[in-house]
Structures are given as structure tokens and as C-alpha cells.
Structure 1
């Protein structure tokens, strides 16, 4: 991990600054591992766990034999009192997810909080513009809707911030063609309710703290209004209707598999 990445992780509020020893126990070769979740989104709590996401590369024999390949691997452990969660997909599965309107995997791929990287990671990241489409608005619209319903059931700050983060990421993507998942940065680029910085500050105290002192009707109006802004941004977006990187990604997967 570079010093720049160490500094970036420290600014993100991570309780650990070098996760490489933990990744050494990951099964199989990793193409990359990055930090996702609340740390990436810019509103971690003092008791947040660390979500690590990435890609591993299965050997060719695992895919052509009779056994079912382990396309998704999960490992959870604790270090210095902090819970860590590593989830990786095999390269082929991850690329297939990239080719869908799935903003989540693109956020992982392009996360600036890089714990482990490789030339393959660099190639995948370079291909990201070729998979971005106006249909990614559906992903962020749907994710925001799910989190809004969860907020309605729990009253917790976390799903409320996830709701706003998803909507603002979607709006920014439709307008700029760039994936940005960091809510504090998005607040400087997209018009958003003025109370969001206070909510971010409040969540720092507890991962599952409740939202207090809010005008529920006003918050609901704000969410509805941002849905409308996302709809308009999708209509006006210059992003294509379909991914253009299919063949290039196919070649990348084949080459990585045969030379890995």
C-alpha cells in the first residue's frame, strides 16, 4: 500500500491503516481489494466495520471441470477490536456484473481506498467508462427506494444517509458520466438538503443511531424531489443506452484466465 493510500485511509477514519497482512490469508490470487461501505461513502461511525470488496481469479481448471466453481468468497475476521468483511468475486462474475447497470461493483472497482491492486485492476478500471449507461439510474433509484423503506421501518440514520447518497451518486453520474460515491464530496457538486452535513456528523457516534429532530414530511419531500432530479438527469444524460466494452472485457477475461 502506498503512503498516499495510507493517508487516504486515515482521512476516511479507518481504524486500521495497513490491511495487507490480513489479505495474505485470502484464498487464491487477488486482482484487487478496496474499501467500500460507509468509509467509502464518507460517513463511517466509530463502531463501523470495514467492508473490503474485490476480485479473485480462479484457475481455468476450476471452470472447466465437474465441480462448481467458488465464484464468490467471503471471509470475516476481527483485528484490534474491529470487524472486517472481505467479499470477492471471480473475475468473470465481476465483469458480468459490470456489464449490467450495477453501480455497486463500479464503486468498488473505482474506490480510491485501495488496499491491494495489480495490473489487472488497472485494466478493469480503465474499462469502466465503456460500461456506464443511462440505465445505471435504475440501479441508484432502486437502491434509494430500498434504503428509504428501511429507514421508514427503523428510523436509523444509516439507511437515510444511504438513501441520499444513492440519489446524489445517480444524479452526478447521469450529469457527468463519472462514478462518485463519497457523500461529502457530492454535497459540493449536487444541490442537496442543507441538513445532510449534520446527519453525517451525527452518524459518526453510532452505526445504528436513530435520526432525531427531523421534520419527517420535509425529508420525504426532499427525497421525492431528488428522485425527480434523477429522472430528469437520466432523460438528459449523454451516456449511451448500452455498454460498449463487451468485447474488450471478454478479451481481458480470457487473457487473464489463460495467463494467470
Structure 2
């Protein structure tokens, strides 16, 4: 993966980076950033909301009683960090606008390159074909089927969800005693990024079924790995390591 990270990251930056001097907020970004009390509170002195509050709020920083129905704490945590960095750059005179969405947008692009690198690494592990893996990885990064997810700030949820799904698939290469934890954590990350991480319940065991012999030729244990990977993915959806009030509101 490390070999693919730099070239695919540069490719993503070259293709999808906005002009920092002409970047403004589209409608969804206004709701997700400008009107998000959790993200903006990081610039308060002192911050009026703790970092952990991300796990008690919805995608737009609203309480369960007023939720829009999307529970995605990972994007909120990342946006809050990017918002703080932007504010610090503004204070140092390095940023033209304290409320510029450029850094939040750039995070999407960088993560897209990372996802492409993990995709390339997974494909190489599964096929042992270097040319196929590199070609598919470059095409994946360049094509960006859902372009808005890469170039739009709100698309961070999609990119981070994809990262979680691919990390869960990559975890299948781990030894049997470590694989369940890797799959569980990756699925949990995907779930906390966007609800479409539900696909891991099918994708991960299917990937285990078809790749175990290639990844673990000496002891494939195909059906055992398939069953364990499914159980680990399902556990991420059943564990609910959140305050009961938030869980009840968002997952009913």
C-alpha cells in the first residue's frame, strides 16, 4: 500500500483539488459546516462542546430530538479538526478566510487517494497481478464514479465509509486470531462514517470466501474465516458502544 499511496495521492490532488482562492460553500456545506454548532464550537474560547459530543449528535450537529436522521460522527470529528486548523492559519495570517471550506475539501481528496492505495493493495493481494492492481487503482482514483463525494466537503462521509469497507476487506489478510478485531474496527469506522457501511455484512464474508485460499494458502480455513468475518462485521452493528439515548434515537 505504501508504494501506491504517494502516486495515487498526487493523482487525486491533481484531478480534484479546488482553487483555494475560489472555493466557497455550496448548500450542503453550509449546513454541515457553517450551521454545525459542534464543528464551529472548536473556535470558542474555551470550546463550548467536548470532542466526545460527536457521538451524541447527528451529521449536522443536532441533538437526537432534532436529527435529520443521519448519524455520522467520524466526518464531524474530522471537520472539527480541519476547522480548528483553518482558524489557526487565519490567526497566523496564512489563510485568506477563517471560514474557508478548502481544508475540509482537501481532506476528502487526500482520503480518496488513500482509499485508492488500499484498493490497489487489496487487489494485488487477491490477484497477485501487479499490473492489474496498479491499473485498477489508478482508474479508481481518476474515475471517481461519485465525483461529488471527492470534490464536495459533505462527501467525506462517503469517502470515509469506503475507507472503512476496504480496511475491513484488507483485514482478511491478518492472522485468524487478529482478523476479527481488524474487521470489527474497520466496520465500526465505516458505520460511524455513513450508514451505507451496511454493505460490509455481505462484502466482507464474500471476500473471505473467495480470497482465503490466496491469502492463506498454507491454512485457508475458508468456511471458518468466512463465518468469523461475518460475525465480526455483524458485531460492529450490534455492539452499539454509544450512549443508550443516542443509539435509541438514531437506530430505531
TM range, smaller chain: under 0.3
TM-score, structure 1 as length reference: 0.27
Higher helix proportion (structure 1 or 2): 2
TM-score, structure 2 as length reference: 0.27
